[in-house]
Chain A
Amino acid sequence: MYDPTVARLTYRALLGRRRALILGALPLLLLVIAVAVRGLSGADDQTAADVLGGFALATMVPIIGVIAGTGAIGPEIDDGSVVYLLSKPVKRPTIIFTKLIVAIAVTMVFSAVPTMIAGLVLNGNGQQIAVAYTVAALVGSIAYAALFLLLGTVSRHAVVFGLVYALIWEALFGSLVPGARTLSVQQWSLAVAQKVADGNLVTSDVGLPTATVLLVAVTVLATWYAGQKLRSLTLAGEE
């Protein structure tokens, strides 16, 4: 199910210079914000929860997910170089699964690690807030990577659609339409975080059982469907 060569090619494509810079920018910003907030207002659990919930989980994780998830396959399909993977006796679902693992790993490293560090800087993990949001980032990384990897196989404009989902659906609709929050990776991740954190600073609109089922279902279905799409991927010629 996992092909080390596909993984190596995907890592190198994802962590190439320009993309690595973009991937690194938001975590850096988070750390700068964390240091600044801590320096200006001292350690405060509520502030820590606000920064990690409002910026790290709501904005940074999905955007990193978009970049890693779509970037793991989208550019290859766009420029046609995916033909070198497809013209091999390697099962297409294996290619997708491998790319998913890479996208998850990259999303986790670039989102969960800085979330943890930022949380420690903000309030030294008081009320388990740093750990809770780190777990949320880890869980979210899996679902986002799967979702955006699928998007990368079905659309040439995967990045745009990904950003629209991440920023407009999750952030905007989520705050305006309560129902939209049920269908939000962010809320599912928060349900897991709520379980981890002490106190009541981390809350989710979705119950843990529902969140778990939805997280697993979205990840599995998106990956399966991406594999199917790749099996019948049409490489249009120059004509």
Chain B
Amino acid sequence: MSTLSLDHVSRWFGNVVAVNDITMTIGPGVTGLLGPNGAGKSTLINMMGGFLAPSTGTVTLDGQPVWRNEAIYRHIGIVPEREAMYDFLTGREFVLANAELHGLGAEAARKALATVEMEYAQDRRIATYSKGMRQRVKMASALVHDPSLLLLDEPFNGMDPRQRMQLMDLLRRMGDEGRTVLFSSHILEEVEQLAWHIEVVVAGRHAASGDYRRIRRLMTDRPHRYLVRSSDDRALAAALIADPSTSGIEVDLAEGALRVQAVDFGRFTALLPRVARDHGIRLLTVSPSDESLESVFSYLVAA
């Protein structure tokens, strides 16, 4: 059982602040580090893994500093985001080398490859592997010494749905075994399928922390805005505002469109096409105007 603690950690590069005064504690189980691209997730994971010094603050694992402390890697397994990994070796040679660097042998390598179900391709060169296979061999290399903390940077990037499910099962198992598993992602659905606990980072700041259900609610209960163009905007507006799922409508003359604010996302998306059909109105454009991930996260920051 291991606990990773960040205490008032900041990191800047020149005059760009990548991580801004983050304090968090990651305990056993699976934790998702969620945030849009460029939010500082990789910087955070690099600091957690001892590959980057915090500009201020400390990162410790069970009280031991992580930075400039090679011995800490007996307890940490790292799955980096970058692809490069000694492509000229076979999967087995690669995992064995990782085992040897921990002072372990072929048996540990064999077990790790079995855990990720890569025995069938272990004698092929890594250069010939698909993205998902690479990811699994990376996992094996991180698991070979049975670490209590597992750090994964965007592990699902580029994986197909089946590979994604396999990896999720594996991580879930690791969490159930009492390991501290932290993975980063910019995709909410990915995180909520896997993590019990979520840490949200937006623009380098710690935006939210806690149970995924609460965070999910914060994200979906916010008002949604749509831009709608139709064959009869005013008639459509009148019909929509009658329903409680719509909280406001503006007729944007310059755009020649309606700006609709919906409070009940699920109900509104069912309502709009039905209302249009019932009134014989043709919908020309329906586009969410604030669905980008950044704006979704900004609600969290405000909340």
Contacts and interface: CB of A to CB of B under 8 A. Distances in A.
Contacts of A237: 42-43, 45-46, 81, 153
Given A9-B86, A231-B68, A88 B43 contact: no
Nearest to A12: B88
B101 A88 contact: yes
Contacts of B73: 87-89
Given A5-B100, A84-B98, A239-B18, A91 B70 contact: yes
A235 interface: yes
Interface stretch (A75-83, A178-186, A209-217): A75-83
A92 B50 CA distance: 13
Interface string B66-83: 001011111011101110
A200 interface: no
Contacts of B81: 237-238
B82 A80 contact: yes
A140 to B, nearest CB: 29
B85 A84 contact: yes
Nearest to B98: A84
A237 B52 CA distance: 10
B294 to A, nearest CB: 14
B102 interface: yes
Interface string B41-57: 11101100111110000
Given A89-B101, A89-B103, A239-B42, 13 more contacts: A80-B82, A81-B82, A81-B86, A84-B98, A87-B51, A87-B78, A88-B101, A89-B74, A233-B51, A234-B52, A235-B52, A235-B80, A237-B43
Contacts of A6: 101
Nearest to A90: B101
A90 B102 CA distance: 8
A236 B78 CA distance: 15
Contacts of A4: 100
A88 B98 contact: yes
A8 interface: yes
A117 B71 CA distance: 47
B51 A89 contact: no
Interface string A61-95: 00000000000000000011101111111111000
B102 A84 contact: no
B97 interface: yes
A3 interface: yes
A90 to B, nearest CB: 6
A105 interface: no
Contacts of A8: 97
Interface of A: 3-6, 8-9, 12-13, 16, 79-81, 83-92, 231-239
A235 B97 contact: no
Contacts of B85: 81, 84
B64 to A, nearest CB: 12
Nearest to A87: B78
Contacts of B42: 237-239
Contacts of A79: 82, 84
A83 B78 contact: yes
B101 A5 contact: yes
B38 interface: yes
Nearest to A78: B84
Nearest to B100: A5
A236 B68 CA distance: 16
A80 B70 CA distance: 18
A89 B84 contact: no
Contact of B102 (A83, A89, A231, A239): A89
A81 B84 contact: yes
B185 interface: no
